[in-house]
Amino acid sequence: MTTNLEIGHSAEADRLAFVIDAEGYFEAFMDAVSRARRSVLILGWEVDSGIRLRRGDSEETDGPTLADFLSTALDQNPDLDIHILCWDWSMIYALEREPWPRQKMGRDTHNRLHFVLDGKHPIGASHHEKVVVIDDTVAFIGGIDLGRRRWDTRGHDPKDPRLVSPSGNRYRPFHDVQAVVSGPAARALGDRVRKRWQRATGEALDPPGSSDHDPWPKDFKPEVRDVPLRLVITDAAENRFETEAWHRAALECAEHTIYLENQYLTSQAVGSVLEARIRRTPAPEIVIVTSKESEGWLEQASMDAQRANILANLRAADPGAKLAVWWPDTGHGDSPTVHTKLSVVDDRFAYLGSANLSNRSM
């Protein structure tokens, strides 16, 4: 079966690699930013100045905080500017966010570190993109914020003493995936961040000039080269709902396998497409990996309940037992938070980004 997946903006990546979990991502981030020449652009749902980007066995062996690391990068390079655009979060998250972020990531840090909280969204919307762009040459995109409860190793050990937020609170293991790209895809992501910045602040940022330097993280070998990508966007202010359109098209065309690794499965649109596809003969094998349960009573009462309804409908539509739903087990009776937003269809199409399979993200 063929389908039209020419949704969104086309941009080739001359290199693409996947970075699993935040320990590896934060190291790659530090390596790339330390070699930036003109520009670092950051979009985030959460950005916390106090997170330790590298964590040792004690405070003495820990790496710098995010604020200290960025300040050092700016001190060492007088031609560098760093722009950070972070969601001006809802008060429901007030106890989970760093207090006085404008001061800690702005006035107290460095005069070339430009930090803005973005609240210019339609009612009910949020700023959810997680993107870092270095000199329009290399970019990171995926589900991992530079946030307080993101760092974890691939071992996901619930007893790891390093799973502690800057405020001293422990958190459960956390699994996610980030991609790093270079070439035209990085430039397209730079354009996206600059567009978001201008909408939030009214200031137009100039793209950095062309350069032959390469800030690709040195320890990451590309999985693929010269791969066609498409930048798909959900932006209610622009009436763009490309993430849902992409998933509808990809899931409908699946012939053999659908693999979904996602924090949530509560999107009615995605649930309906999966149910219709599983009823059609021959049905593809569908594998879903998600968290055992959401964090906090509010998400458990809302998101987990909606997921249970969608899964019940899928199981009722699945007489051939083509559906498998899994959650990770550390072997200690604990289950990590699955924060990934990864979709793979027939080993032909893949999506990785910041969108949950939820009504809000769609």
Identify the sign of the CA torsion 191, 197, 198, 204: negative
Write phi, then psi, for 335 (nearest 5 degrees).
Answer: -125, 125
Domains of the chain: 9-231 (3.30.870.10), 240-352 (3.30.870.10)
- 291, 335 contact by CB (below 8 A): yes
C-alpha neighbours within 13 Å on the C-beta side of residue 18: 14
In DSSP terms, which residues pair with 116 in a beta bridge?
Answer: 85
What is the separation of C-alpha 60 from the centre of its chain, rounded to a whole number of angstroms? 30
Quote the pLDDT of residue 183: 96
327/54 Cα distance (integer angstroms): 28
Location of structure tokens 């699994």: 175
298/262 Cα distance (integer angstroms): 18
42/20 Cα distance (integer angstroms): 19
Tokens of 251: 């899931």
Quote the pLDDT of residue 99: 63
Which own/partner pairs from 66-69 qualify as long-range (CB within 8 Å, at least 24 positions apart)? 66/146, 67/104, 67/105, 67/108, 67/109, 69/30, 69/33
What tens-digit pLDDT sequence spans the chain (362 residues)?
445 688 999 999 999 999 999 999 999 999 999 999 999 999 999 999 999 999 987 766 788 999 999 999 999 999 999 999 998 866 566 556 676 566 667 777 788 999 999 887 777 778 899 999 999 999 999 999 999 999 999 999 999 999 999 989 999 999 999 999 999 999 999 999 999 999 999 999 999 987 788 999 998 899 999 999 999 999 988 889 999 999 999 999 999 999 999 999 999 999 999 999 999 888 999 999 999 988 876 788 788 999 999 999 999 998 777 999 999 998 877 899 999 999 999 999 999 999 999 998 98
Quote the pLDDT of residue 296: 77
* H-type alpha helices, the chain: 22-34, 66-76, 101-102, 184-201, 242-252, 268-279, 297-299, 305-316
* End-to-end Cα separation, the chain, in angstroms: 25
pTM of the shown model:
0.93
Quote the pLDDT of residue 6: 87
The CA angle 355-360-362, to the nearest 5 degrees, is 55
Residue 19 neighbours by CB under 8 Å, 6+ apart: 25, 28, 140, 142, 177, 178, 179, 180, 220
Quote the pLDDT of residue 125: 77
Quote the pLDDT of residue 215: 96
The CA angle 14-151-118, to the nearest 5 degrees, is 75
Burial class (CB in 10 A: 0-12, 13-18, 19+), 231: middle
Burial class (CB in 10 A: 0-12, 13-18, 19+), 31: middle
- 275, 304 contact by CB (below 8 A): no
Quote the pLDDT of residue 237: 84
